[in-house]
Amino acid sequence: MLQVSVLKEQTDRVLAGLTKKNYPNAEAEVQRILELDQRRKQLQTEHDQSQAEANELARQIGGLMKSGDKAGAETLKARTAELKGQTKTAAEELTQVESELQNALYRLPNLPHESVPQGRSADDNEVVREVGVQPTLPEGAQPHWELIKKYDIIDFELGNKITGAGFPVYKGQGARLQRALINFFLDEAMAAGYTEIQPPILINEASGYGTGQLPDKEGQMYHATADDLYLIPTAEVPITNLYRDEVVSVDRLPIRNTGYTPCFRREAGSWGAHVRGLNRLHQFDKVEIVEIDLPERSYATLERMLGHIEGLLQKLELPYRVLRLCGGDMGFTSALTYDLEVWSAAQGRWLEVSSCSNFETYQANRLKLRYKDANGKNQLLHTLNGSALALPRIVAALLENNQTPDGIRLPQVLHRYCGFEQIG
């Protein structure tokens, strides 16, 4: 979340950033937060002054009692009782104001980096580059939802029987392709210097608040209400929360982790032809890369992470493009996000397969994730993450782009992982 000091000292920058993110009533919200913070400070001062006076009177009462001045002691006792009432009232109001202030800060999105373009929707995103040649498909080419039935590798009807829509069953070569991609992505990440983490796939509320899924995306997560736990929407959440409430030694930076997990998203309100087949699921597999680094080098880190993800797509021989998201299409917690999309030849459109983001101090402030600077003062770190990669649309593009009359040809890099060179 944003720091109150930033709202106070850089108000114009904050308002401009919130406007770029199309945040409604930005000026009124910022003013309310500043007023709450001022009231918090006032109440804290009143509480501390009353407490200090009560402590001093307690000392004086002891002296009066020793000297036999009971009347004077009783007068001070009455004042002490009055002060205790004032302290209690101030403490109760202080707790309420602090809660209101915290909730108001939670509702503010992160500020966009200066390079983020203006815009309200995906139509306003900036194409940074496009790489690869879009394939020409043979006559009679089919979209992936027909190919998976033809080769019997993924079954949506069985998933619907077991759980519901959006929970496919992978079978035979389909299951082996999934496992191959996961292992390939993890091996590539570890070769690039990331440490593999296998985190829990259920998180508590504190973890959801720590990385910003709560309260922003509460309705999009599956909630196990009996235990007040949430199924993770991405491995970013548990892996980043490994460092919650830590002061990290500078010589440990950058921290670079990777992890494979299933991901769960309710995707409430999603419908239409664009979500057919593997295009949008409630459960899917993804390998994530997560980094924690010093503020002065986090944007160089972001570019390195982006290069790693592009390298995966190049090895998979998939044509792709890199987008810089505009203010209106960015995530709530992000300062700068690159989306990577692969070309789906049979559908004739681009499919998002990765988001790579720098959150600057936004998550770190929630997480209380810090380092000590050269003067020994605690400072907030920067957190970053990227999908490397999400599987469903990668599989969709691999199936569609590589279909031939004799089967589906797989890229060379997957042959040793799959144990076969083509599907069918």
Report the pLDDT value the prediction gives residue 266, as an integer from 0 to 100: 92
Cis bond leading into 389, ω under 30°? Answer: yes
Q: Do 108 and 34 contact (CB within 8 A), yes or no?
A: no
Is the CATH number of domain 4-107 1.10.287.40? yes
The pLDDT of residue 62: 78
pLDDT string in tens for the chain (424-residue length): 999 999 999 999 999 999 999 999 999 999 999 999 999 999 999 888 888 888 888 778 777 777 888 787 778 778 888 888 888 888 899 999 999 999 999 999 999 999 999 999 999 999 999 999 999 998 999 999 999 999 999 999 999 999 999 999 999 999 999 999 999 999 999 999 999 999 999 999 999 999 999 998 888 999 999 999 999 999 999 999 999 999 999 999 999 999 999 999 998 555 555 679 999 999 999 999 999 999 999 999 999 999 999 999 999 999 999 999 999 999 999 999 999 999 999 999 999 999 999 999 999 999 999 999 999 999 999 999 999 999 999 999 999 999 999 999 999 999 999 999 999 9
Residue 188: per-residue pLDDT: 98
The token pair that represents 167 in the structure block:
């929970």
Tell which residue, 47, 39, 45, 56, has the closest CA to residue 4.
Answer: 39
Where do the DSSP E strands lie in 242-395?
Answer: 247-248, 255-264, 283-293, 320-324, 336-344, 349-358, 370-372, 378-380, 382-390
Token pair recorded at residue 40: 């918090």
Integer Cα distance of 116 and 96 in angstroms? 36
* Every domain of the chain and the residues it spans: 4-107, 122-423
By the 10 Å C-beta count (0-12 exposed, 13-18 middle, 19+ buried), 280 is classed as middle
For residue 130, the surrounding DSSP H or E stretch is strand 126-131
Question: What is the pTM assigned to this prediction?
Answer: 0.92
Q: Which residue, chain included where needed, has tokens 């570019």?
A: 303
Cα separations (Å) of 212 from 89, 110, 146, 240, 394? 32, 10, 38, 11, 27
Tokens of 349: 């459109």
pLDDT attached to residue 272: 58
pLDDT at 398: 98
The residues, any chain, with a CB within 8 Å of residue 138's CB and separated by 6 or more, are 403, 404, 405
Question: Which amino acid, one-letter code, is at 97?
Answer: V
Q: How many CB atoms lie within 10 A of CB 142?
A: 15
Q: Which amino acid is at 411?
A: P
Q: What is the pLDDT of residue 358?
A: 98
Q: Are 23 and 109 in contact (CB under 8 A)?
A: yes
As a whole number of angstroms, the distance between CA 74 and CA 178 comes to 79
CATH 3.30.930.10 holds for 122-423: yes
CB 257 within 8 A of CB 289: yes
Residue 81 burial by CB count (10 A; 0-12/13-18/19+): exposed, middle or buried? Answer: exposed
Helices 391-401 & 173-191 angle (0-180, nearest 10): 120
